[in-house]
Amino acid sequence: QLMKVFVTRRIPQEGMRILTQAADLDVSVWDSDEPVPRAELMKRVAGINGMLCLLTDRIDAEVLDAAGPNLKVISTLSVGFDHLAIDEIKKRGMRVGYTPDVLTDATAELTVALLLATARRLPEGVDEVKSGGWSSWKPLWMCGYGLSGSTVGVIGLGRIGLAIAHRLKPFGVKKLLYAGRAPKPQAAEVQAEYVPLDTLLTESDFIVVSCSLTPETKGLCDKAFFSKMKKTAVFINTSRGQVVNQEDLYEALSSGQIAAAGLDVTTPEPLPTDHPLLTLKNCVVLPHIGSATYSTRGTMAELAANNLLAGLRGTAMPSELAL
């Protein structure tokens, strides 16, 4: 009897090849680049043994019930797992695979790119060139903020946060601060100092959010948070949109409470094209592309496929989420 798996999207062939070549699998795919509609997802999961899903699929009790008791393994093509109802999954005795580590470098690199693009106003500058707003080299025009001599605060010094810190240090950062649930021994690698969140907010010139979305971090970046930041500080978020209260961020950016923001993640995704944040010159929004290099997405797909296979075969997953 073949094990039935459902893949909720077209994924890189590095992952697809592993699944289709496995003789013990019966693979079905939502063969599209767009998300599977909820109703279709509910239908397609009926009777499956394993699922390879994306962060755009909300896997909750309703989906798990529609799948039925044969569903034993969920493998997500992401490091984040806030889209999975972990309590419900645990209750049903399922195993979960995810893709940490393989996307750390790509995501840290994108974070640095977004930070520099935001602080040095690159999208605005490109627009000025194209629109004819560039009339001359001007001493007071298009000035931004640089990393040299600055204090950088990282909220959530996990795998990705640490990789960001490693990359920022060579730009001449004077001081690295971090805040989170507890001090991390690996902070010593980058001489980062563990401080209370309020200290990080008041002292940092750049604030980088790299924590996971949990009940404690949901809405963490709100009016009180932004009001403690320097007026010259730059805010960067490459974790999850829901860590930020976007109305409060809009207010902080439009009133000059903070200098600028760079976001790779928003609420919702995609952000509607008429969203107020998109009217601001000091806000750079990217379409959630932290891990988007060809090679990283290929490796993620390979890992997600191997996690799924191992879970179904009852062997050790390369990256199993501890539930």
- Tell me which residues touch ligand GLV (CB under 6 A): 55, 78-80, 103, 290-291
Measured distance CA(255)–CA(323) in Å, rounded? 43
Neighbours of 274 (CB within 10 A): 7
Bridge partner residues of 5 (DSSP): 27, 50
**Closest separation in Å from C-beta 269 to ligand GLV:** 10
Bridge partner residues of 154 (DSSP): 178, 208
Query: 25 or 163, CB closer to ligand GLV?
Result: 163
275 is catalytic: no
Catalytic residue among 83, 166, 275, 288: 288
Measured distance CA(117)–CA(87) in Å, rounded? 39
Measured distance CA(176)–CA(158) in Å, rounded? 14
Query: 103 or 283, CB closer to ligand GLV?
Result: 103
* Closest residue to ligand GLV in the complex (CB): 80
Q: What separation in angstroms does the CA of 191 have from each of 89, 162, 177, 257, 269?
A: 39, 11, 9, 29, 35
Query: 130 or 138, CB closer to ligand GLV?
Result: 138
In terms of C-beta density within 10 A (0-12 exposed, 13-18 middle, 19 or more buried), how is residue 171 classed?
A: middle
Query: 161 or 290, CB closer to ligand GLV?
Result: 290
**Closest separation in Å from C-beta 196 to ligand GLV:** 27
**Closest separation in Å from C-beta 45 to ligand GLV:** 21
Neighbours of 79 (CB within 10 A): 23
Active site residues: 288
